[in-house]
Chains A and B, each alone.
Chain A
Amino acid sequence: MTTFAPASPGLAAGGPRLWRGLRRGWRTRASMLVLALFAAAALWGEIVYRLAQARDRTPSYAQLNLDARYLPPSLFRHPFVAAGGSEAAATPVGARLYAGLRELARYPFGTDNLGRDVGQRLIQGARIAFQVGVMTALIAIPLGLLLGLLAGYFGGWVDDLVVWLYSTVAAIPGLLFILAIALVVGKGLTGVYLGIGLTTWVGLCRLIRGETLKQREQTYVQAARAMGLGHARILFRHILPNVFHLVIITISLRFPAAVSTEVFLSFLGIGVQGEPSWGVMLGNARLRLWQGMWWELTFVTIAIFAVVLAFNLLGDALRDALDPRAASKSDV
């Protein structure tokens, strides 16, 4: 598998090494494809959202269409019957085929109880999930990384303070803590970002602190110190590249967790307001399930499932490539 020197298993040699180390079986490839699709959907959703905002119009995913409520996905709509109607025999085959194809392209994922396009809403959900994953990582990763590095490198009272801080945060039940922060900050995405971001840095901080403690004693750090390099330079130029693989692994683990938490918060009505996030859709779908509207729940489930599964598989591959110790453990 990977052949990194145990002293510096990290990304010191840069990206290509990670790329080579990554075991590219079909699972890794498939999950990368899914994540690329996810990112593209998020980007597309962002464009649609921005355009609608710039034009000051109701975005297409929020438009109500009371004539087209509860439309099943087009594959389940018998498009040829619908297009042809009773005089189907009279119309030429080509026209019927054309009408049928048009019907297939209309609301391919069906509509919800207000006639809104489920497919477009799924894309908006991807946008919000992506935002939540990125924003929470932007809060939690620098926080955990910096505190972990400082604690591990300097030790002493800095270490005591950081350990106290993360023990305190870790002691508070996670989901409840996130809920409380979101509640206090106020309903909306900011609350979600802060709630998830401010509670999930602990794991990374612990990992980085432990690894920095080890790296601090390595000869390359001693050499750097003997050369008279400053603390900041040693920390960020020498130690950081050697612990950075932990950051990548953590992101691959935290991203899907953040998406799931956002789903949960929005489902409860604390998260996203007035936008179709996957959690909001799930909450809506749950109520409409009893009226036979199975497709919204199904598609949201598939979307969340695909993204989380892809992250899980990719995370495994990343761990194998970056962390030789973990790789020997989990050779699936």
Chain B
Amino acid sequence: MRGRAADVTHLNYMGHYLFRRVLQMLPVLFGVVLITFVLFHVVGGSPAVMALGKNATPAALEEFDETRGFNRPLLWGRWTATRAWAAWDARRGAARAGAWEGTTGARLDAAGSALFPPGVRVVPLACPLRAGTAYRWRLEVRQPSGGGTLAVTPEGGAPSTAAIAVPARWTRLDLPLSAGADRADGLRVTVTGGAALEIRAARLERRMAHPWESQLAHYLGRVARLDFGVSLATNERVADMLKQGIGPSLMLTAPIFFGGLILSIALALLCAWRRDSWFDRLTVVIAVVLMSVNYLVWIVAGQYLLAYQAGWFPIWGFDSWRCLLLPVLIGLVSGLGANLRFYRTVMLEEINRDYVRTALAKGLGAPAVLFRHVLRNALIPIITSTVIAIPFLYTGSLLLESFFGIPGLGGLSINAINSADVEVIRGVVLVGAVLYMVANLLTDLCYAWADPRIRLR
């Protein structure tokens, strides 16, 4: 009975601990989502241009942005830029007259401002305004003679709104526009007054229905729905691509991981046991040498020498288990050096402890001491390093997969990087981060299970 009760308390503590750890994961998860957002929405270029090319029409780009939520304010706000008309500022490079191209009768003066003589002009738009949506044209204007007025309406849109008086000094005016039922592909500017109207800066903005309808909200919503979007390059669903990739990836990385673990631990035990023997010294030297050879060189040389010249392995492909042999071998060899050195250090530390001497003194054989005592006590650093290795494993397969034509996540990522396929990269990054966090959680649980003091902290 006492055992049962202890078990229940134990489970209870574990439950509490698990709950706390999962809660601690949430801020990190949010941070990862935030970092991907900053990377791809704030710093990165326009995904629409990346996907459709520089020669795509503004209408097509606008359509692309609309379906993926890229045409919204970044964090929050009522007004957002539109591709219908490029924002323009005379003080920021006078050469940018492109915004006024096609506006007959308007011209730029020496200071770079746009001059609109009295009369009616039409400013063409790159793509039509959306029907039933409010826009505004934010202008910095003046009428040097004073007493002039300005009225702007979308072409074929609602009847002209009341003309606004323009003062003689620079003023910022917000001119509301509402596109009518028809497609407006120009802005009709009516100017009255003595002298030409001067425009120093102009920006066309679209009004959002809700200020929180932002890119961030859209992105968070997508992540919450586990919607990874659609590949920019192949139009496939990213979730499907990831699902297809995980199998081949695991086929490659799991043997490398577990094989490497067993091999390096076994060698490390031997080294620690026969410490300072020729075997130990040689192994340590070989480990440093193995560590120092570039990963790429292992792959290039291995593929050339073992697969092409010697013909022992298939060079490329994923149609039989034989294709996996060489990549697994290369993965094993390239990772062996660092692991071996680390495990040897861990084992040495354990083997110098008193309990080992005691065990040997009471007549236990070497295998019993090594496997029953040393290995068990060295387990905690081994678990830690194993988990630390998981993200490396994930990225390590990037190269192996793309070199050997294995259709896993690594090859997928490399292709995505080469074609600037932001959606796929983001999907892989998010999944990788979640995997890492889960693995971290698992190690901590192992710790807590192995060492009751941790649970109580």
Contact with A along B33-51 (1 / 0, CB 8 A): 0110001100111000000
Interchain CB contact under 8 A, A309 and B296? no
CB distance from A307 to the nearest CB of B (A): 9
Give min CB distance, A193 to chain B, whole Å.
15
> B76: shortest Cβ distance to chain A, in Å?
22
CB distance from B359 to the nearest CB of A (A): 21
- Is B313 part of the binding interface, using a Cβ–Cβ cutoff of 8 Å? no
* Contact call B43/A185, Cβ cutoff below 8 A: yes
Determine the distance from Cα of A268 to Cα of B394 in the docked complex, in whole angstroms.
17
Do residues A176 and B295 form an inter-chain contact, with CB atoms below 8 A?
Answer: no
Q: Select one of B31, B288, B341, B349 contacting A164, CB under 8 A.
A: B31
Q: Does B125 contact A (CB under 8 A)?
A: no
| Count of inter-chain pairs, beta carbons less than 8 A | 123
Q: Which residues of B contact A169 (CB under 8 A)?
A: 35
Contact string against B for A residues 229-259, beta-carbon threshold 8 Å, 1 for contact and 0 otherwise: 0000000000000000000000000001000
For B280, the closest partner residue in chain A by CB is A332
Residues from chain A with a CB closer than 8 A to the CB of B292 are 256, 305, 308-309, 312
Q: C-beta contact mask, B3-38 vs A, less than 8 Å → 1, else 0?
A: 000000000000000000000000110011011000
Interchain nearest-CB distance for A272 vs B (Å): 15
> Are B429 and A172 within 8 A (Cβ)?
yes
Interface size on B, residues (CB 8 A): 49
Q: How far is the CA of A285 from the CA of B297 in the complex (A)?
A: 11
Are B391 and A173 in contact, with the CB atoms below 8 A? yes
Nearest residue (CB) in A for B275 is: A331
Interface residues of A in 274-332 (CB under 8 A from B): 279, 282, 285-286, 289-290, 297, 301, 304-305, 308-309, 312-313, 329-330, 332
- Set of chain B residues within 8 Å of A304, measured between Cβ atoms: 294, 297
Residues in B neighbouring A164, C-beta threshold 8 A: 27-28, 31
Q: What chain B residues lie within 8 Å of A267 (beta carbons)? A: 296
Q: Is B284's beta carbon under 8 Å from chain A?
A: yes
Shortest A312–chain B CB gap in Å is 6
Closest to A282 in B: B296
Cβ of A173: which chain B residues have Cβ within 8 Å of it? 391, 394-395, 428-429, 432-433, 436
B321: Cβ under 8 A from any A Cβ: no
CB closest chain-A residue, reference B417: A179
Contact status A264-B295, CB under 8 Å: yes
Cβ-based interface call for B345 (8 A) = yes
When distances are taken between beta carbons in the complex, the residues of chain A under 8 Å from B27 are: 164
Indicate if the CB atoms of B39 and A268 lie closer than 8 Å: no
Which residues of chain B (162-207) have a CB below 8 Å from chain A?
none
Contacts of A177 in B (CB 8 A): 429
Contacts A171-B32, A179-B425, A332-B284 hold; do A301 and B294 have CB atoms under 8 A apart?
A: yes
Q: Judge if B266 is at the interface, Cβ distance under 8 Å.
A: no
Query: How far apart are B335's CB and chain A's nearest CB, in angstroms?
Result: 14
On chain A, the residues within 8 Å of B399 by CB distance are: 264
Given contacts A172-B432, A176-B413, A185-B43, contact A269 B418 (CB under 8 A): yes
Whether the pair A176, B395 counts as a contact (CB closer than 8 A) is yes
Asked whether A168 is an interface residue with its Cβ less than 8 Å from the other chain, the reply is: yes
Interface residue? A184 (CB, 8 A): yes
Q: How far is the CB of B238 from chain A (nearest CB, A)?
A: 14
Which of A172, A268, A286 is most buried by chain B, counting CB atoms within 10 A of its CB?
Answer: A172
Choose among A184, A264, A270, A309 the residue that contacts B39 (Cβ–Cβ < 8 A).
A184
- With contacts A180-B39, A301-B293, A301-B297 known, is A168 near B394, CB below 8 A? no
B410-454 interface mask toward A, CB cutoff 8 Å, 1 = contact, 0 = none? 000110011010000100110011001100100000000000000
- Judged by a CB distance under 8 angstroms, whether A165 is at the interface is yes
Whether A204 is near chain B, meaning CB under 8 Å from some CB there, is no
CB-defined contacts of B341 to chain A, threshold 8 Å: 330
Task: Determine whether A12 belongs to the interface, using a CB cutoff of 8 Å to chain B.
Answer: no
Interface: B398 (CB within 8 A): yes
Among residues of A, the one whose C-beta sits closest to the C-beta of B24 is A167
Any A CB within 8 A of the CB of B242: no
Inside 8 A of B436's CB, which chain A residues have their CB? Answer: 170-173
Q: What are 30 A-B interface contacts by the 8 Å CB criterion?
A: A167-B28, A167-B31, A169-B35, A170-B436, A171-B31, A171-B437, A172-B432, A172-B436, A173-B429, A175-B398, A176-B429, A179-B417, A180-B425, A180-B429, A181-B39, A183-B44, A185-B43, A264-B399, A268-B414, A268-B417, A268-B418, A282-B297, A286-B300, A289-B304, A290-B308, A305-B292, A305-B297, A309-B289, A312-B292, A329-B348
| In the complex, the 6 A-B pairs of residues with the closest C-beta atoms, listed nearest first | A168-B31, A175-B395, A309-B292, A173-B432, A184-B44, A308-B292
Binding site for A on B (CB under 8 A): 27-28, 31-32, 34-35, 39-40, 43-45, 284, 288-289, 291-297, 300-301, 304, 308, 341, 345, 348-349, 391-392, 394-396, 398-399, 413-414, 417-418, 420, 425, 428-429, 432-433, 436-437, 440
Sample of 18 more A-B contacts, CB < 8 Å, known A263-B294, A297-B301? A164-B28, A168-B32, A171-B28, A171-B32, A171-B440, A172-B35, A174-B392, A176-B394, A176-B413, A176-B429, A177-B429, A179-B413, A183-B425, A184-B40, A185-B43, A304-B297, A312-B288, A330-B348
